[in-house]
Amino acid sequence: MRSLALASILALAPVAVMAASLGVPLNQSVLVSLPAPAHNIFLGNPTVADVVLSDQRHVVVTGKTGGVTNLIVTDERGHTIYDRQIVVGASAGDRVSLINGGNVISYACAPACEQVGSAQDAPIGSTTPTPTTTVTFNGPLPSLGSGGATAASPKAQP
Minimal CA–CA distance to 138: which of 117, 107, 116?
107
Summarize pLDDT for 133-142 with one digit per residue, the tens.
455 555 555 5
What pLDDT was estimated at residue 135? 53
Average pLDDT estimate for 95-109: 74
Those residues whose C-beta lies under 8 Å from the C-beta of residue 39, and which sit 6 or more positions away, are 74, 75, 76, 78
Mean pLDDT rounded to a whole number for the chain: 72
Q: What is the pLDDT of residue 62?
A: 95
What CATH topology corresponds to 2-89?
Immunoglobulin-like (2.60.40)
Q: For the chain, what are the domain ranges? A: 2-89, 94-157
